[in-house]
Amino acid sequence: MIIYWDVLFLINFFIDYMVIYVTAKITGNYTSLLRIAVASIIGAIIGVFAFEKIFFGVYGVFISFLMLYIAFSFFDIKSALIFFMVIFILGGISFFINNIFNRIVWIGAVAYTENSLLLSLLFCILCVVSILLFFRLFKRLLIKKNMIKKINIGFEGKNVDLYALMDTGNLLLDPVTGYPVVLVFFEKIKGILPEPLKLFMESENGLLTTMDRKYKNKICLIPYKTAGDESILKGFRPDYVILKDNKERVIKNVIVAVVFKKMSADNEFEAVLNPQI
């Protein structure tokens, strides 16, 4: 096979660029496209020498560390593990394609192909999309397992099961009692509410003057502030909230506040938990 060094350089530049880019996306490390490009150029230049077996074996690990340091201006084990995992997955996809077309040659971490540069670039993009989709799916499954909990809210003999997201950003507290606040989509909770509370939640003025005293003692108003916006959330004190994790835990000192917009576009959860629960 005839080796064209410019093609070898460009192929490995594309691969290094894609691998570092995917690593940045997965780890959430901030960097610029310029830094990724510089690291990829270094990797591609060394890749040309590696093909000549000037660099090989354990030196490749140190070269990878150097590329990560150039790309992110720091080095950590998490980024390195993700970086090598992406290379491993990329190598597996390459091996699969190679078995079909017999057109890709790998020496260590250096790739060469007899295909055109355009096909090589398309191959890189296909690999990146596949890896990003894989990690996105894995992350969603992990979040769903660890962060989405099943809860049961009870009030006056009625109860409802909900899926709730444990959100560290929800630090709302009832200003009177100091109890943590659980945000719940109104459509999912209204079935257990008596008519006076349901009307109170839906009305603009709250209808406090016509509400029975026993319900007045159950309701609360929670100041809610977001970027550039302030409002008041209407809530009530339930009889209990059961958190169904590894074991069931009954929580009574809690406030349920209602919201009227869906919290999850894909309906994975209908409530947001306060981490203080």
Q: 142-198 pLDDT, tens per residue?
A: 666 667 889 999 999 999 999 998 877 778 898 888 899 999 999 999 999 998 888
The separation between the first and the last C-alpha atoms of the chain, rounded to the nearest angstrom, is 65
Contact 184, 271 (CB under 8 A): yes
Identify the residue with better confidence: 107 or 204.
204
Ranges assigned E (strand) in 137-193 = 148-155, 158-166, 181-185
Contact 74, 133 (CB under 8 A): no
H or E element at residue 222: strand 219-226
Backbone angles phi, psi at 181, to 5 degrees: -110, 130
Query: What band does 42 get if pLDDT is binned at 50, 70 and 90?
Result: confident
* Max avg pLDDT among 172-181, 207-216, 264-273: 172-181
C-alpha–C-alpha distance, residues 168 and 260, integer Å: 21
C-alpha–C-alpha distance, residues 3 and 25, integer Å: 33
C-alpha–C-alpha distance, residues 120 and 113, integer Å: 7
DSSP-derived pairing of the beta strands 271-273 and 158-166: parallel
Backbone angles phi, psi at 116, to 5 degrees: -70, 165
Identify the residue with better confidence: 205 or 256.
256
Average pLDDT over residues 51-71: 70
The torsion defined by the Cα of 240, 245, 247 and 250, in degrees rounded to 10, comes to: -10
Of 6, 101, 20, 103, residue with least CA distance to 51:
6
pLDDT at 244 over 50: yes
Of 81, 78, 88, 75, residue with least CA distance to 131:
88
pLDDT the model gives residue 108: 46
SS3 label, residue 19: helix
Q: Give, as one character, the DSSP assignment of residue 210.
A: G
Average pLDDT over residues 238-260: 90
Percent of the chain with pLDDT over 90: 17
Task: Identify the weakest region by mean pLDDT among 63-67, 103-107, 126-130, 271-275.
Answer: 103-107
Tokens of residue 70, six digits: 């150039």
AA identity, residue 182 = V
Tokens of residue 245, six digits: 């994790």
pLDDT the model gives residue 213: 78
AA identity, residue 56 = F
C-alpha–C-alpha distance, residues 19 and 180, integer Å: 43
Identify the residue with better confidence: 275 or 131.
275
Q: How far is CA 73 from CA 14, 68, 78, 92, in A?
A: 21, 8, 14, 29
Contact 168, 147 (CB under 8 A): no
